A = this chain, B = another copy of it.
């Protein structure tokens, strides 16, 4: 961290400020220029609050050279993290570190028939993981809120029938009690900075699929991952799912540049959700392919056997047939990008 001081900073003030910084565990190197005094901080600056420093009268500007995240940082962990799920029969499913993971399924679990039908169809087409919502975060209290525990039971049944590991969203800490059979816990975009929840997931043994908040920067996403990792859980999948911008053609704006940016700064796998990002079914295949071309480690796609009557987000769900066609293209793209799909 580099701190440029105001040109009228007095020696005594600088001394006090240096002492304050050193109490926070860093060494301070002072360099007096012709017109500007600059402090260079050496050591672990991740606990130092940049904005707080700006409250000091003598501070002109602060530049962070080192990123504020440590455990998520590729600098300290150069090799890719790979998520491995052991499924029935001892087989494993892999995502990241050279493996392209495809997660597919309906927005909400609705009935036994629906979830099992979709699960079989996406498995047949080559998906590696099944998604489905049991607890649903909905903008309106009057909208369908998911089947809850009953939905979880149906998901487990689909898992037993197909052998696909399951991914589903957790909305509150107390729901952890019923998440035993869940393979990957999803944290929704609206909860990305629910720090109480993140801390609890740090104490949990399951992989976490962490969705980027619609107004969160890349650094904030990595800091949210850092909350979980600081608690001891390093198995995190990051998910870009669109950000809020002025453009309203799509529900959100899919920020595919986030993929190479994240891959450069972290060792964690990065996937893309073209369904929630666009909110438009006919756009999903194009954006899923683009995600893989941009370097994503996977995609999460909404598939519904009858999108027109889906209880939730039907407008962004593709049919099993469209999904099968997409898988054909993704295989080719994975091959171009040197990734295995299984």
- A171, B143: Cβ atoms closer than 8 Å: no
Binding-face segment, A76-84, A98-106, A124-132, A304-312: A304-312
Q: Which of A49, A254, A310 has the most CB of B within 10 A?
A: A49
A11 within 8 A of B: no
A256→B274 CA distance, assembly (Å): 11
A120→B142 CA distance, assembly (Å): 44
Decide yes or no: A141 and B230 within 8 Å by CB, A35-B42, A61-B2, A333-B336 being known contacts: yes
Residues of B within 8 A of A197 (CB): 172
Binding-face segment, A87-95, A110-118, A153-161, A292-300: A292-300
Q: Nearest-CB distance from A29 to chain B (Å)? A: 4
- B315, A52: Cβ atoms closer than 8 Å: yes
On chain A, the number of residues with a Cβ less than 8 Å from chain B's Cβ atoms is 107
Decide yes or no: A63 and B65 within 8 Å by CB, A46-B142, A249-B261, A308-B55 being known contacts: no
Q: Which of A173, A218, A255, A257 has the most CB of B within 10 A?
A: A257
C-beta contact mask, A18-32 vs B, less than 8 Å → 1, else 0?
Answer: 001000000101011
Q: Which of A142, A253, A307, A310 has the most CB of B within 10 A?
A: A142
- B34, A313: Cβ atoms closer than 8 Å: no
Q: Nearest-CB distance from A333 to chain B (Å)? A: 7
Q: List A residues 180-215 near B (Cβ within 8 Å).
A: 190-191, 193-197, 199, 213-215
Of the candidates B2, B55, B315, which one forms a contact with A36 in the assembled complex, judged by CB atoms under 8 Å apart?
A: B2
- A4, B4: Cβ atoms closer than 8 Å: no
State the A residues within 8 Å of B (CB).
Answer: 2, 4, 20, 27, 29, 31-36, 38, 40, 42, 46-47, 49, 51-52, 54-57, 60-61, 63, 65, 68, 137-144, 171-174, 190-191, 193-197, 199, 213-215, 217-220, 223, 226-227, 230, 243-251, 253-261, 264, 277-279, 281-283, 286-287, 289-295, 307-315, 317, 329, 332-333, 336
| Given A2-B38, A36-B40, A213-B215; 12 other pairs, CB 8 A cutoff | A31-B31, A31-B38, A52-B314, A140-B223, A141-B195, A141-B223, A244-B244, A253-B255, A261-B283, A287-B294, A289-B293, A292-B293
